[in-house]
Amino acid sequence: MSGKKEKKVRIVDHRHCRICGKAIPPNQEFCSENCRSISERMEARQKRMRNLLIVMYVAVFLIIFIMLALRAGMS
């Protein structure tokens, strides 16, 4: 029994760039300013899409509500 068994299964602390997937230090979110600006643009678009979706939901709800109200008024 002479072999020292060194267990070095330590996972190096790192994360991946959210845009291109490159390994980056854990205190960073993106690998470069370019990826940061891409992410910001994507987030802005997602926010706009979410607002649009909410507006559409409200519009559909209003249309259904008006149709039901009209039908109720007819009978």
- Where does this chain bind Zn ion (CB under 5 A)? 17, 19-20, 22, 31, 35
CB of residue 17 to Zn ion, shortest distance in Å: 3
21 vs 61, beta carbon nearer Zn ion: 21
CB 14 within 8 A of CB 24: yes
Residue ranges of E strands in 11-63:
15-16, 23-24
CB of residue 56 to Zn ion, shortest distance in Å: 33
CB of residue 25 to Zn ion, shortest distance in Å: 13
Amino acid, res. 11: I
Handedness of CA 56, 57, 62, 64 (dihedral sign): positive
23 vs 56, beta carbon nearer Zn ion: 23
